[in-house]
Structure 1
């Protein structure tokens, strides 16, 4: 199984920040990836 190293994880976090994600959304997304727990699954945001 492939694992993500720290440099890849940092680039992912920086990419999400630059895409406008807030810290809670980033943390929840990472928790969803690691645990598969549906409560952390990203939800579509309504159009503004």
Structure 2
């Protein structure tokens, strides 16, 4: 991924409502593969 693609990814995650911590942890998970940084599913209510 080049820097332009990374910037678009980060902006897209922000637009989707991700917090800075969630974004940082996601990037750390991609690079390290460590389970502690793996994104957790968000519980959504469906009514």
Q: Which runs of 5+ in 2 are unaligned?
A: none
**What is the aligned residue count?**
45
* Matched ranges for 1:16-27 at <5 A: 16-27=13-24
Q: Which runs of 5+ in 1 are unaligned?
A: none
TM (norm. structure 1) is 0.88
Distance 1:37 1:30 in 2: 11
TM (norm. structure 2) is 0.89
Q: Displaced runs of 4+ in structure 1, greater than 4 A?
A: none
For the pair 1:34 / 2:10, whether they are aligned, the reply is no
SS state at 2:39 partner: coil
Distance 1:11 1:47 in 2: 25
